[in-house]
Structure 1
Amino acid sequence: MSVPSKAASVFTALFLIIFGCVFTGVGVMMFFMFEDTGSGIAEAIPTFIATVFTLAGLGIIGGAFYSIPHAAALRERAARYPDQPWMLNNAWATGRIRDGNTVTLIIMAIITVVWCGITAKVLISMLIDGDFAQEKFSLFALVLPAIGLALIGTTLYLFLRYRKYGVSVFEMADMPGVLGGSLGGVILTRTPVRTTDGFRLMLRNVHLWSTGTGKNRKTHRETLWEREQRLPKTLDQTDGQRAFPVLFTIPYSCHPTHKVSYNKEYYWELVLSGKAPGINYKATFRVPVFKTEHSSPTVTGELESLPEDERTSLGTDILTIPGLSVRKSLFGGEELSFSSTAGRKVGAVFTLLASLGLLGAAFIVGLGGLSVFMGLVLAAMGVYAGWRALGSLFGSTLIGIHPDRLEVTRKFIGLTTSNRVVLGKELQNIQVISTRASNESNHYTLRLDLDGDERIRLPLRISGQVNAEVLAAHIRKLADM
């Protein structure tokens, strides 16, 4: 973590104050300028923009005043601990790290209140003035309460989870976590947690960066390394569990915790989750991992090199991979069957409903005379989303591992849509590659590297890097690679 000098912190604060005042001034001026522009859509859009500018400006000014004493405290601590960057973080310095659920709840609550307030003003104005019957574009105002309901549902879920479980704390055994060493400690919960099938404990090394500017700015998130452990539910604690041991071996080659710039950083994330009756449990911690004098370049983190107890907790068994079934082939070898809906039934159903909504919107927009082109665009988006959802619900992938070949077959509602045969002599390597991420875990697939630099990416969605590595090792073993 870089520490700004006194002059730099004061200059930055002054710049932010001026910038915030400009934003706030523009917002206040817009309130007065558009005070008499009428009602309905004509008034709602400027009010929305003015509110955003004013709140953003006040937030920037508040952050500027907070930054000066905060920077001074950082400089004092950096002088005291010159070779211990983790001591610059208050939570890391104490060795007791609170989960991020409270901050997430507060941010979502603020967004929800602002959005619902603006939506209420728009709808009330339009109902009073009868704009729903007069303005064709008023149909789009129905999108505002739909988004508001989604925000309310998300905020309510986060609030209920907070009420049920409170704040969890990760107490580190040693500070910090060590590259080429380990991260250890215990996660403590405020109330006992009961789950239906145990707990998942994940540690991941993440690269977060942004590209572009303005409306073209995009944030990218890549998981560089990940390990998942399965903690079985305790049989002797019928009231639930309140303490969860943590121990991960970390490869020396991983990236340490480091904020390179305002738009690029490497961080470590520890996640404990479990399916429970009613509201599921989940706690996320940002943990410090650095290279220290205890780091050993010989620690690789490979599955075979891990201690027995840690390797056992990883669940390194091909039969534990979600959505995978294994059976013997009539022609020798094995057949692996992957269900496309594994772990994403709810998401596929919601996607299907969204596709129906897009098709309905396309019908209204196109036949209502608003815009034929926009109707076609919405229809195309609806058809694509529906096809993806149906593929997730009714699709599957079969991998036949035979003595002389691999056979990859894609099926939809029992019908073969594609088939590819790879001869054993063509196959050079099997790589694990990341596909996408969700709140709970990252997803991976396998890539077959063939002769002549040809590569085949298998249509799989495997939850967790360890599961993908176990599957790749299993295929290599059967294919005699």
Structure 2
Amino acid sequence: MIEVSDFRQRGGALVSVFGLVFVLVGLGIGLFFAKGAFDVYAARDWAPVEARLLSVDLQSNHDPDSATTYRVVAEYEYSWSGERLLSDRVDLHSGADNLGDYHHDLYARLNKAFRSGESVTAWVDPERPWRVVLDRGMRWERLGFGMIFPLAFGGAGLGVLLWGRRAGRERKKRDARRELHPDQPWMWFDKWRTPQIAGEARSTMWLAIGFAAIWNLVSLPILFIVPGEVSGGNTAALIGLLFPLVGVGLAVWAVREVIRHRRYGASTLELQSHPVPLGGRLGGTLNIPARLQAREVQVQLACINRYVTGSGKNRSTRENVLWEDRQRAPTTSGAGPGQTSARIEMRLPAGQPVSSEQNPKSRIIWRLTATSAEPGVDYKAVFELPVFDTGEALADAAEGDAPEVVFEADDWRETGVVHDYAAGGQRFVFPRYRLLGAGLGLMFGALVFTGVGAGMMLLGGMWIFGGIFAAVGLLLLWGAISMLFQRSEVIIGNGRLRWRHGVLGGWQEAEAGAVKSISVDKSGSVGSNLYFQLEIERWGREGKTAIAGWIPGERPARALAAHWDSLLGGERSAT
């Protein structure tokens, strides 16, 4: 039975306090910047008078940890009702900043008048003549910059408050259900109480919208700051433009998720067994409230450990794929007009952990993802499944005799390998560019890291941190090049195994009888997709040699290894 820790019991109050602080900070900053707008509105009836400048200067303040800010300071005298008065108030906006060219332009105008001895216009409050300024105009860029903070901080804080209230209600419901169903943890959660599992399309859409909005609001001030910094000679500030650029990508993601949700609606998965038995079979019907043009959907089932590392500002959430399998499910007409359905049948391994939210810092998630290529935005639905040990495992799994991965003889064809016949026997080819999407995505990340690192070193002189970024980028770049340009070709026949593997790999060969075994090893992962490589071990030699890589899915990879091993076995018998 899962115990609720004291930390989680106090979590709701801590989250509420955290959200309230964000709201108050956002409102406070917003009021500070809005005060200038209120003062401009109040000064619309102030009277113009002539003023004589006594001094003018443009003060700059350079902080090594931030940007250079500017402020115009001046002293001047003016007359009101026959009385000579002095003032040093320049405008209605307090503080220094570097938003646009306002301070430089104002200084140039006032300094020109000061040097030539010309008078300037001052604006006086008739009711309180000691209130006077040289410029009463509205600084729209400053107001826009300031309003970003209440929107970003206030919006984030309000979201945290609402999420905290909802999480508190959910926690109370789970506690009550835990007492009613102590041995059925899937009954504790709304998402698992019935065999009909709802997809995450709606929550993903709102997550994309919220994350893109907050990111762009937070990074938008950079667009106000960078031009002034660059004009002042600080070219390293150009690195800051990467954040708005990422914001553009996030906005595109959010728009695509909105289109996806509106086009395909909310898919559901009707489970045959509730919950899904660990070591048994997942049987279910995917119901899509839209007509798909594709004749099949690609289905992936993955067991994932989502864990949290670090604390404070170093806190991060990561996912480790423990197991995954895939299949293609043919589509048929759904229960209603304009709907689509697909039957899903998959076997689950017995040696993986069950669904668990006992430790919020290390959760076990069984995630099913269904996709299909469609015109425009592709179809995608994600489901989190309740997988538990119900005692309904298949016979071989229950007896402990089931292999780690079960495959059929022809499952090797799912690897995407091109099979034909050559003069030397049967040929198997994994061509280049078969992982184009994943490779380009990895290359984009590599170029971002490398570019940031190079910019930090060349423009900012930050050689240590820039070097670390560049080194990570180069490692990612090599991985992307390997995914995109790696080619594997294997020929089995005439009592021999011939292969060439890699980006520029040349031909190698071995006698069939010299091959001791063919094994499968993990070569990498992208997202929740696992990739494997096939390795041979030869008699009389230490170590293993890779002959094919970046093979999607362990089950088809093991099926291919078994198929090649059987072909080599036939060659051994023939020789």
TM-score by length of 1: 0.79
SS at match of 2:410: coil
Q: Counterpart of 2:429 in structure 1: which amino acid? A: S
- Is 1:327 aligned with 2:416? no
For structure 1, which segment, 146-155 or 31-40, has the greater mean C-alpha deviation from structure 2 after superposition? 31-40
Provide the C-alpha distance between the structure 1 equivalents of 2:406 and 2:455, rounded to a whole number of angstroms: 61
Provide the C-alpha distance between the structure 2 equivalents of 1:37 and 1:269, rounded to a whole number of angstroms: 52
The residue number in structure 1 matching 2:81 is none
* CA deviations over 1:374-416 (Å, ceiling 9, x no partner): 887777677666665555444412234356654442354xx54
Tell me which of 121, 139, 143 is aligned to 2:221.
121
Residue 71 (structure 1) shift: 2.3
SS at match of 1:340: coil
Correspondences of 1:252-271 after superposition (within 5 Å): 252-271=350-369
The residue number in structure 2 matching 1:39 is 98
Correspondences of 1:24-423 after superposition (within 5 Å): 36-40=95-99, 58-124=158-224, 126=226, 130-134=228-232, 135-195=234-294, 198-214=296-312, 217=315, 219-233=317-331, 242-296=340-394, 298-299=396-397, 316-322=410-416, 324-331=417-424, 333-342=425-434, 344-349=435-440, 370-371=460-461, 373=463, 389-402=480-493, 406-410=497-501, 412=503, 416=505, 419=508
Q: Counterpart of 1:435 in structure 2: which amino acid? A: G
Q: Counterpart of 2:196 in structure 1: which amino acid? A: R
Residue 436 (structure 1) shift: 0.2
SS at match of 1:94: coil
Provide the C-alpha distance between the structure 1 equivalents of 2:10 and 2:446, rounded to a whole number of angstroms: 50
The residue number in structure 1 matching 2:557 is 468
Residue 192 (structure 1) shift: 1.5
SS at match of 1:140: helix
* CA deviations over 1:6-58 (Å, ceiling 9, x no partner): x77653333444455566666677778998341349x9999989987666555
SS at match of 1:14: helix
Provide the C-alpha distance between the structure 2 equivalents of 1:383 and 1:206, rounded to a whole number of angstroms: 28
Correspondences of 1:417-456 after superposition (within 5 Å): 419=508, 424-425=513-514, 427-433=516-522, 435-438=524-527, 441-449=529-537, 454-456=543-545
Provide the C-alpha distance between the structure 2 equivalents of 1:236 and 1:260, rounded to a whole number of angstroms: 37
Provide the C-alpha distance between the structure 2 equivalents of 1:460 and 1:425, rounded to a whole number of angstroms: 21
Q: Counterpart of 1:250 in structure 2: which amino acid? A: L
Provide the C-alpha distance between the structure 2 equivalents of 1:85 and 1:340, rounded to a whole number of angstroms: 46
Q: Is the 8 A contact 1:3 1:75 kept in 2?
A: no
**Paired residues, what number?**
461
Residue 80 (structure 1) shift: 1.5
* CA deviations over 1:72-118 (Å, ceiling 9, x no partner): 21122112112211101112112221111211111111111122223
State, as a whole percentage, how many aligned pairs show the same letter: 23
Residue 66 (structure 1) shift: 3.5
Q: Is the 8 A contact 1:429 1:450 kept in 2?
A: no
Provide the C-alpha distance between the structure 1 equivalents of 2:460 and 2:177, rounded to a whole number of angstroms: 61
Structure 1: runs of 5 or more not aligned: none
The residue number in structure 1 matching 2:109 is none
Residue 168 (structure 1) shift: 0.3
The residue number in structure 1 matching 2:55 is none
* CA deviations over 1:146-167 (Å, ceiling 9, x no partner): 1121111111111111111011
Provide the C-alpha distance between the structure 2 equivalents of 1:364 and 1:75, rounded to a whole number of angstroms: 52
Q: How has the CA–CA distance of structure 1 residues 156 and 261 changed in structure 2, closer, same or farther, with 3 Å as cutoff? A: same
Q: Counterpart of 1:446 in structure 2: which amino acid? A: L
Q: Is the 8 A contact 2:222 2:241 kept in 1?
A: no
Q: Is the 8 A contact 2:30 2:149 kept in 1?
A: no
Provide the C-alpha distance between the structure 2 equivalents of 1:446 and 1:146, rounded to a whole number of angstroms: 40
Q: How has the CA–CA distance of structure 1 residues 210 and 447 changed in structure 2, closer, same or farther, with 3 Å as cutoff? A: farther
Q: Is the 8 A contact 1:406 1:424 kept in 2?
A: no
Q: Counterpart of 1:38 in structure 2: which amino acid? A: D
SS at match of 2:177: helix
Residue 232 (structure 1) shift: 3.4
Structure 2: runs of 5 or more not aligned: 34-93, 101-141
Provide the C-alpha distance between the structure 2 equivalents of 1:49 and 1:64, rounded to a whole number of angstroms: 22
Q: How has the CA–CA distance of structure 1 residues 187 and 298 changed in structure 2, closer, same or farther, with 3 Å as cutoff? A: same
Q: Is the 8 A contact 2:149 2:218 kept in 1?
A: no
Provide the C-alpha distance between the structure 2 equivalents of 1:392 and 1:425, rounded to a whole number of angstroms: 30
SS at match of 1:232: strand
Q: How has the CA–CA distance of structure 1 residues 66 and 380 changed in structure 2, closer, same or farther, with 3 Å as cutoff? A: closer
Residue 244 (structure 1) shift: 1.4
CA RMSD of aligned residues (A): 4.2
For structure 1, which segment, 29-38 or 293-302, has the greater mean C-alpha deviation from structure 2 after superposition? 29-38
TM-score by length of 2: 0.67
Provide the C-alpha distance between the structure 2 equivalents of 1:23 and 1:304, rounded to a whole number of angstroms: 49
